[in-house]
Amino acid sequence: MEIELKYKLNEASDADAIFDDVRILDMADAGSEKHIKMHAVYFDTKDGNLSSKGMVFRVREEGEKLMATLKWDGVSIDGLHVREEINVPLNDRVYLQKPDIKVFSESDIFEELESIVDGKELVLMMEMNFVRRAVRLDNGVGIFELSVDIGNISCEGKTKQINELEIELFSGSNEELKDLGEYISNKFRISPENHSKFRQGLDLVDKNRV
């Protein structure tokens, strides 16, 4: 399960102020900050079998790594996103052009996934290119990853800028996560983002699709 808070940054430059904040620096694990170039591609059947069931299938280059991800049963309230998620490491970039749901064959959700896809061809839905700046935070009672994604979403010839902050809960309580999010959002006047990047991409072409 993935639990995280999402916020919209007013400007991409807000990231520097947030990462340089005294309280954030005090919680940051020394040497944990990283910058990762991300390239993500999202797939579905032509008639949207997966998205109609609230499922998202993504293959993403994360620096030197390649990862297949399946997400489902997602809910979001006031920027808090909770959803089931499976990540499977891949070793062949061919999956960026030729996706295969069999990469999830060892998971409990595979039978349902296979039924939903129903043997249909998977086609490219959208692409995302962004740089993630991330740091691991530890406040003594919870461990989190604070990240900022700057880049763009492309869907059916339309594009949208990504200026997004995420705080993912690694260990601890949801309340600790919310307290950290409240501190950052209040101090830097950023608003909750209830839509995932995938949903934002779909909204570029069809606001009623999911």
Domain map (residue ranges) of the chain: 2-205
> Could you say which architecture CATH assigns to the domain 2-205?
Beta Barrel (2.40)
Which of 100, 99, 161, 157 lies closest to 129, judged by CA? 161
Do 42 and 58 meet the contact criterion of CB atoms below 8 Å apart? yes
Alpha carbon 178 to its chain centroid, in Å, reads: 18
What is the tens place of the pLDDT at every residue in 44-95? 999 999 999 999 999 999 999 999 999 999 999 999 999 999 999 999 999 9
Query: What per-residue confidence (pLDDT) applies to 205?
Result: 81
d(CA 51, CA 99): 16
Mean pLDDT by 10-residue block, N- to C-terminus, for the chain (210 residues)?
A: 96 95 98 98 96 97 98 96 97 97 98 98 97 98 98 95 98 98 98 95 71
